Structures are given as C-alpha cells and as structure tokens.
C-alpha cells in the first residue's frame, strides 16, 4: 500500500504534463475530443500558472487579456516550464463549464456549471442534485481527457511523434512572440 | 446550504470496502453516531464531526434531507481553537513583571513562569472563540464516488481518516498519480509508467515529426 502510494506520488508530474499537453492540443488541433461519454470541446482561457520541475524553481503567472498568446507564455514554455494551473472552458453541446484545473492533483476549482434550467417550483427537479451531477460530469470529462493523454504519453508515439510536435509548437509560439516583441519595439 | 453553494471546488475519491454502497438509512445512522459535538470551552486544538447540509449548526440528519437524487449530501465540520502566541507572550510578560513587583523579586524562576503562562493560557482559551468551518461532501453512493469541497491538505487528512473510521470503508483520492497507475494497470502499461520521466520542453531547433492526419492512440476527433 505504502509502495503504491509512493509510486503514484512520484508520477504526479503527469498532471502538469497533461495540462500543458491539453493547451497544445487546443491550439494545434482545435481542442475537440471524442470521449466515451460523448464529445467535448476545450479552451484554455486564463490564469496560467507555470512552474519548473524543480520544487524550488521558477514560478510564473499570467492572467487577464488573452494570456495564452502572450510572449511571456511562449517564453515560459521555451524555458522548460509547464502549466501548474489554468482556467479552462469545457463545452458539450450548448452547455459550458468554466473551471480551474490543478496540475498537481487534478482537483477542480471554482467550477461554474451550466445554468440549471428553472421549470418552476413544482417541476420535480432537484436543482442541487442537478448541479452536483453537472460537477460530476465535468470530473468525468477531465478524467476522460486525462486517459486520452495517458494513452499517448505511455504509448510508443510519445517520444517519436508527440513530444517533437509539442516542442515544435513551443518553437512556433516563441517565434511569434519574438515577432511581436520586435514589432512593438520598432513602433 | 453548505453543499453545492456557489462555484464548486472539489476533490474526488473512490470508495471501496465490504459495503461500499450503504443505504440512506445506514448513512444517516453512521453520521448520527459520529455527529459533531464541539470543543470543550477551554480545549485547545481541532475537533471534527458530521453535520447535516443546511448550515453550521444543523445536526438533524434525516433521510429526506440527506439523499438528493443519487447523492448523499452532508458536511464535515472542523472547529479549531488556538491561543494567539503573541497575545500569550504579551500577557505572560505583563503578569510576570507584576508578580515580581508585588513580591519584591529581581527574577522569577522557570517553574513559576510556566505556572503563570499556563494560567494565562487557560484564561485566554476560555475567551477565545473557536474558528468554525464546514466542508460540503457529496457522495454518489452507487457510483462509489465521493467529492469533498476543499483542496486543503489538512482538511483532506482530517476527512479521510474520519470518514474511514465512521463508515468502515476505504477512500482513495483520485489524484494524478493514482489515476495514472490505475489506467496503466488496466491497459498493460505499468512498465511504461514505471519508466516515465518528466518531459523536457525545448524550443531548440530540430526536425519535428510531421503531424499524422489522425492518430488512433489519441482518439482525437
């Protein structure tokens, strides 16, 4: 049991990789995923927290505006930092969830669930139960996405295809960031 | 309502054990047996117990209030009383000075100082109201999934031990490493998981592999 816990704890970095990979997939492939429970569309929205693997290492935060396209975000990735936390949007059909995902624990924070439709006082719908079910549905979506990531991460294509693509994405973001910085300084 | 109020913040647990899907009546009985009773008036430290979901003082467990659709909803109350260290030091210094002056002493022995400090601490504890907090719990009994509305490490330590003792069930937090281990076990990828090391992102130039049109491994639409 203690061994299992230690084994799991040593691999908790996978959540940070997952969050960073999710951002990559959102930007490069549009963020649409087909999960067992149905499709989901993801957007990395705001409040990006980066950290290095070294526990005493660099931390950086970006919030407001559109932080995902800021040069600072590209620089952080290029310096080897990964996402520790971010504010995301998940959409399934017409329904949208806004939430933060913790890249250490996979805890969900500040989840705003889709509006529970008000059908009057006597509609027989328990609004609390419905809200909790929507929270649970989001948890299942995140678990499903994490499993998609694990399939790629632990598979043979990770080192051969996915990691080079991630690095290519970082490089392109950095190139764009430099162009922005140069354009800003020439004005 | 303590459960599901405002935006939701929660950690997920898997519930396992001999009777991992207890009836509503059984849950009510166990909550009642481990209900919050409070701190003694001069007690220091933390005390935990269950409360019903309405508010901090709601100790009335009944099945209609407990069961909301597939969920059992209740809350963990945690009361903590602690004397402020700076306040204790200040009161003790004043009292020690007053005692030395009253008794015409130049210095006071360690045992006497400790005695004064203990007496002041007892007095301050009686004057200090405990911090009263509650954390919502919703438990999808049939799905064997339970959610606690907190991300505090201390609260989760309190919660897990208390829940397991109360219900004689085991909880496993569904955090990244645990989920990865379960997934790897199920899919025959344990060896790959054992070998996995943190990825190193870099912007250094190298020829990136071309993106495949569609990769079955990723199941991406």
Predicted pLDDT of residue B205? 67
Cα A139 to Cα A97: distance, rounded to the nearest angstrom: 11
Residues in chain A within 8 Å Cβ distance of B138 = 132
In the predicted model, is pLDDT for residue B147 greater than 70?
yes
Whether B206 contacts chain A with CB within 8 A: yes
Angle between helices A2-10 and B176-186 (to 10 degrees): 100
- Given pLDDT bands bounded at 50, 70 and 90, which one contains residue B220? very low
- Of the partner residues A106, A110, A154, the one whose CB lies closest to the CB of residue B9: A110
Question: What are B153-180's pLDDT values in tens digits?
Answer: 999 999 999 999 999 999 999 999 999 9
CA distance A56 to A3: 25
A40 or A119: which carries more pLDDT confidence?
A: A40
Is the pLDDT confidence value at A101 over 90?
yes
pLDDT exceeds 90 at position B116:
yes
Nearest 5 degrees, angle CA A76-CA A9-CA B179? 90
* pLDDT band for position A1 (cuts 50, 70, 90): low
Q: What confidence score (pLDDT) does residue B170 get?
A: 96
Report CA dihedral (A67, A70, A74, A76) to the nearest 10 degrees.
-60
In DSSP terms, B71 is beta-bridged to B68, B140
The rounded distance, in Å, linking the Cα atoms of A123 and A107 is 33
- Which residues are bridge partners to A38 per DSSP? A35
Average pLDDT, chain A: 89
pLDDT reading at B214 higher than 60: no
pLDDT digits (tens, 9 = 90+) for A142-183: 999 999 999 999 999 999 999 999 999 999 999 888 888 888
pLDDT (0 to 100) of residue A5 = 63
Contact A164 B209 (CB under 8 A): yes
Can you list the alpha helix ranges (DSSP code H) found in B47-204?
63-66, 85-103, 110-127, 153-167, 176-186, 190-195
Token pair 């492939």 in the structure block, residue: A29
B63-111 pLDDT, tens per residue? 999 999 999 999 999 999 999 999 999 999 999 999 999 988 888 888 9
Tell me the C-alpha distance between B176 and A104, whole Å.
7
Q: How many CB atoms lie within 10 A of CB A67?
A: 18
User: What integer is the mean pLDDT of B12-21?
Assistant: 95
Interface membership of A178 toward B (CB under 8 Å): no
> Which pair of tokens denotes residue B168?
């004689």
> CA of A168: which chain B residue's CA is closest?
B208
- % of chain A surpassing 90 pLDDT: 60
A39: closest CA of chain B, how far (Å): 8
What pLDDT band is residue B217 in, cutting at 50, 70 and 90? very low
- The DSSP result for A16-82, as a single string, is HHHHHHHHHHHHHHTTEEEETTEEEEEEEEEEEEEE-SSTTS-EEEE-SS-GGGSHHHHHHHHTT-E
Chain B residue at shortest CA distance from A34? B221
- Average pLDDT for residues A121-135, to the nearest whole number? 83
Which of A11, A143, A177, A36 is closest to B221 using CA atoms?
A36
In chain A, which among 59-88 make CB contacts under 8 A with chain B? 77-78, 80-82
Q: CA B195, CA B7: separation in Å to the nearest integer? A: 38
Strands B45-51 and B8-16: unpaired
Domain ranges of chain A: 2-186
Q: What's the gap in Å between the CA of A19 and the closest CA on chain B?
A: 11
ipTM: 0.86
Q: What is the pTM of this model?
A: 0.85
């Amino acid at each position: 049991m203690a061994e299992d816990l230690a084994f799991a704890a040593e691999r908790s970095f996978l959540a940070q990789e997952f969050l960073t990979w999710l951002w990559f997939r959102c930007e490069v492939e549009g963020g649409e995923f087909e999960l067992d429970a149905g499709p989901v569309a993801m957007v990395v929205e705001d409040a990006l927290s980066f950290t290095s693997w070294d526990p005493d290492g660099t931390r950086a935060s970006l919030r407001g505006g559109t932080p995902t396209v800021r040069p600072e975000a590209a620089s952080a990735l290029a310096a080897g930092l990964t996402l520790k936390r971010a504010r995301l949007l998940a959409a399934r059909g017409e329904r949208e969830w806004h939430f933060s995902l913790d890249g250490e624990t996979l805890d969900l924070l500040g989840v705003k669930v889709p509006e529970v439709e008000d059908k009057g006082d006597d509609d027989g719908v328990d609004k609390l139960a419905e809200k909790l079910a929507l929270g649970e549905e989001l948890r299942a979506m995140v678990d499903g996405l994490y499993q998609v990531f694990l399939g790629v991460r632990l598979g043979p294509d990770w080192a051969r295809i996915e990691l080079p693509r991630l690095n290519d994405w970082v490089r392109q973001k950095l190139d764009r960031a430099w162009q922005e910085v140069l354009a800003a300084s020439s004005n | 309502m303590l459960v599901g109020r405002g935006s939701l913040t929660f950690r997920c647990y898997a519930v396992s054990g001999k009777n991992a899907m207890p009836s509503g009546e059984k849950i009510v009985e166990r909550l009642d047996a481990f209900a919050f009773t409070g701190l003694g008036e001069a007690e220091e430290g933390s005390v935990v117990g269950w409360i019903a979901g309405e508010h901090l003082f709601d100790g009335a467990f009944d099945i209609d209030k407990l069961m909301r659709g597939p969920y059992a909803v209740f809350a963990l109350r945690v009361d903590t009383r602690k004397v402020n260290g700076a306040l204790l030091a200040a009161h003790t210094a004043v009292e020690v000075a007053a005692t030395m002056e009253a008794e015409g002493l130049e210095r006071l022995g360690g045992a006497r100082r400790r005695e004064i400090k203990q007496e002041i601490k007892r007095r301050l504890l009686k004057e200090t109201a405990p911090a009263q907090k509650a954390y919502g719990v919703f438990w999808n009994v049939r799905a064997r999934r339970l959610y606690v509305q907190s991300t505090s490490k201390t609260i989760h330590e309190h919660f897990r031990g208390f829940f397991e003792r109360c219900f004689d069930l085991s909880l496993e937090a569904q955090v990244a490493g645990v989920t990865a281990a379960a997934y790897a076990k199920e899919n025959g990828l344990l060896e790959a998981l054992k070998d996995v090391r943190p990825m190193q992102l870099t912007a250094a130039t190298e020829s990136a592999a071309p993106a495949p049109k569609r990769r079955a491994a990723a199941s991406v639409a």
